[in-house]
Amino acid sequence: MPVTTTPRVLKAEEALEHLRQLRARQPVQYWAFYSSQLGGIVTDPALMVLPFDDHMVHRGHGVFDTAAIVDGKLYDIEAHLDRFTRSAGLSKLPLPCSRDEMRELILHTAAASGKRDGSVRYWISSGPGSLGLPPAAGAEPGFFVMIFGGLTYPARWYTEGLRVMTTTYPIKPPLYAITKSTNYLPNILMQMEAQEAGLDNGVFVDEAGNVGESSNMNVAFVTQDGVLVHPRFDHILSGCTSLRLLELARRLVGGALGGVEVRDIPVAEARAAREMLLIGSSIKVAPIVEWDGKRIGEGTPGPASSVLRDLLERDMRSGRDRLIDIPY
């Protein structure tokens, strides 16, 4: 509804109808949503709502994580749950239920969606009850699971590569960078700044002049000697995709790669790399061909980006120890 300065007091049915109209004006690919507050799963996007006074909404006191659904299976959920529960601990958010129960709820919401490919994102919220800062007295932490189409990126990012810039926004201090909380303001501003400059994304650089990460993806490099180098995870988010890819990439050492290293990467060294990569659950592995107006390597997607993407995609489809069947 457009903003009106003379609002009426609405009946419940009218409010719901307005929520439905909002969704009709802005179609979304949200297929199933579990909410501990609703006490079940809904498939009508108009009902996928939270009380406005949940502290996750008005103070950003919540954590989340996102995993992939691939061909009817959930990929690498244990790594995502490890990071999720760690982020909850760092945020002083009590777990709403056990880890096993969270996994079950995720699987059952995925089953209710009926979709065999997509994404699952889930949150723990501080809960409703006041507009204050710490959780309200007696607040019940919320648990939410959304099954959706996933973030998608232009095909040209893979075929031609991305152009990025060093963001002018400061990198998050380490505690906040390693916690996957719902506070994404620096990440959002970085991506908007890049788009406004006609570029695809931004890169955080830390105070010591080392490469950090991108908006919702990690950044890695292939040196002129063919070594895959990744920034240390103590001041950036520990990407589940990066962690798995670093493990898989070790199999290529002696062949496509000369080595795999996780260490500080000074910007000057990074700029001289043969290849620069973006890595994450949604993007998988994509080549960056230009950074701050300067070419990376030849200025075209290099071989490592596609070799590593293939390796990851194969693991997502057939890495038996990392896939769980969704109980449709």
Per CB under 6 A, residues contacting ligand PLP are 66, 187, 213, 216-218, 237, 239-242, 280-281
Which one, 213 or 315, has the nearer CB to ligand PLP?
213
CB nearer to ligand PLP: give 36 or 281: 281
What DSSP element (H or E) covers 195?
A: helix 185-196
Length of the chain: 328
In the complex, minimum distance from the CB of residue 219 to ligand PLP, in angstroms, rounded to a whole number:
9
Instruction: Compute the least distance from the CB of residue 150 to ligand PLP, in Å.
Output: 11
Nearest distance from residue 54's CB to ligand PLP, in Å? 21
Backbone φ and ψ for 216, nearest 5 degrees, come out as: -140, 35
> Any catalytic annotation for residue 284?
no
Token pair in block for residue 212: 């950090």
For ligand PLP, the closer CB: 139 or 228: 228
Q: Smallest distance from the beta carbon of 79 to ligand PLP, in angstroms? A: 8
Q: Tell me which of 73, 115, 172, 180 is the catalytic residue.
A: 180
Q: How many CB atoms within 10 Å of residue 168?
A: 9
Q: 């990744």: which residue's tokens?
A: 230
d(CA 319, CA 328): 20
CB 238, min distance to ligand PLP, A: 8
Q: What are the strands, taking DSSP E only, across the chain? A: 30-35, 40-42, 62-70, 73-75, 118-125, 142-148, 162-166, 201-203, 218-222, 227-230, 259-262, 275-280, 284-291, 294-295, 323-325
Task: Report the 3 state secondary structure along 44-80.
Answer: CHHHCCCCCCCHHHHCCCEEEEEEEEECCEEECHHHH
Beta carbon nearer to ligand PLP, 139 or 164:
164
Neighbours of 21 (CB within 10 A): 12
Antiparallel, parallel or unpaired: β 259-262 and 294-295: unpaired
CB of 280 vs ligand PLP, minimal distance in Å:
4
Q: At what angle do helices 77-90 and 99-113 cross, to 10 degrees?
A: 120
Comparing CB distances to ligand PLP, the nearer of 11 and 263 is: 263
Q: Are 13 and 21 spatial neighbours (Cβ–Cβ below 8 Å)?
A: no
In the complex with ligand PLP, the residue whose CB is nearer, 185 or 197, is: 185
Query: How far apart are alpha carbons 287 and 158 in whole angstroms?
Result: 6
Task: Give the active site residues.
Answer: 180
